C-alpha cells in the first residue's frame, strides 16, 4: 500500500555514453559520462489532493554543447466528470543561451468512452516555443492545433487518426515566396 497516494516524486537522469565520441550538438571538448557534458536531470512532483485533480511541477537542469539549461514546468489535469477532462501545461527556461527565455504552453479537452468503452477523443491547442527574438529572424509564434480519436479494436490493436494544423511553423509568419511550392500543371484536353 502506498503511504502517500496523493504525492508522487519522479527522478530521471540522462547522460551521454562515455564511449560515444561525438553527438550532433556536442563539442569536441565535451567529456561524456554520468555527470559530464552533455547530461540532463529531471525531478517531478505530482500532487493529487483530490481524485479529479492532479498538479505536476517539474524542474530540469542539464548541459548540452557546453551550455547550461534550467527549465521549470507545470501540468494541471482536472476530471470534470467520469468522461470529460481538461488539462493545461506550461514550461519556462530560466537560463537559456542568448537570453531568449523560451517558454511553451498547451491546453486541451479529453473525452473518454466516446462511442465505445476504452475509446478516447481529444482537442488541444498550444504554442510549443515562444521566445524573445534577439536575432530578428523570427516573425511569428508557432501555434499547434490537434484533434484525435483513439478507437481500440481489441487489447492489442487500436486505430488512432490525428489531425494536426500548425500555423507560423518554425516561428515564421509566412513562407517566403521563393520557397512557396509551385502549382501543378493544369491538365490539357487533347482530342
Instruction: Specify the range with the lowest mean pLDDT, choosing from 6-10, 128-132, 144-148.
Output: 128-132
State the Cα–Cα distance between residues 105 and 94, nearest whole angstrom.
15
- Looking at residue 100, its pLDDT comes to 72
Q: Is 177 exposed, middle or buried (0-12, 13-18, 19+ CB in 10 A)?
A: exposed
pTM of the model: 0.70
Query: What's the rounded mean pLDDT across residues 37-57?
Result: 92
N- to C-terminal Cα distance for the chain? Answer: 81
- Exposure b/e, 91-120, CB count within 10 A at least 16 = b: bbbeebeeebeebbbbebebbbebeeeebb
Residue pLDDT, tens place only, 159-177? 999 999 999 887 666 544 3
CATH of 7-177, one of 2.40.50, 1.10.3470, 2.30.30, 2.40.160: 2.40.160
The model's confidence at residue 2, banded by pLDDT at 50, 70 and 90, is low
State the Cα–Cα distance between residues 176 and 184, nearest whole angstrom.
19
The domain limits of the chain are 7-177
> In this structure, what is the dihedral angle of CA atoms 155, 117, 85, 77, given to the nearest 10 degrees?
-30
The model's confidence at residue 28, banded by pLDDT at 50, 70 and 90, is low
Residue pLDDT, tens place only, 62-86? 887 777 889 999 999 999 999 999 9
Amino acid at each position: 500500500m502506498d503511504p502517500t497516494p496523493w504525492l508522487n516524486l519522479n527522478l530521471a537522469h540522462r547522460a551521454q555514453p562515455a564511449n560515444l565520441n561525438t553527438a550532433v550538438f556536442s563539442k569536441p571538448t565535451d567529456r561524456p559520462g554520468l555527470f559530464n557534458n552533455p547530461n540532463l536531470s529531471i525531478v517531478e512532483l505530482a500532487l493529487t489532493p483530490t481524485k479529479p485533480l492532479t498538479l505536476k511541477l517539474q524542474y530540469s537542469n542539464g548541459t548540452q554543447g557546453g551550455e547550461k539549461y534550467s527549465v521549470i514546468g507545470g501540468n494541471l489535469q482536472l476530471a470534470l466528470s467520469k468522461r470529460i477532462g481538461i488539462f493545461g501545461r506550461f514550461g519556462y527556461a530560466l537560463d537559456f543561451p542568448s537570453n531568449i527565455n523560451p517558454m511553451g504552453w498547451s491546453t486541451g479537452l479529453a473525452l473518454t468512452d466516446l462511442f465505445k468503452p476504452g475509446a478516447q477523443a481529444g482537442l488541444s491547442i498550444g504554442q510549443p516555443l515562444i521566445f524573445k527574438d534577439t536575432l530578428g529572424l523570427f516573425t511569428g509564434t508557432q501555434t499547434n492545433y490537434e484533434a484525435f480519436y483513439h478507437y481500440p479494436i481489441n487489447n492489442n490493436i487500436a486505430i488512432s487518426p490525428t489531425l494536426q494544423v500548425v500555423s507560423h511553423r518554425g516561428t515564421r509568419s509566412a513562407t517566403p515566396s521563393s520557397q512557396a511550392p509551385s502549382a501543378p500543371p493544369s491538365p490539357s484536353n487533347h482530342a
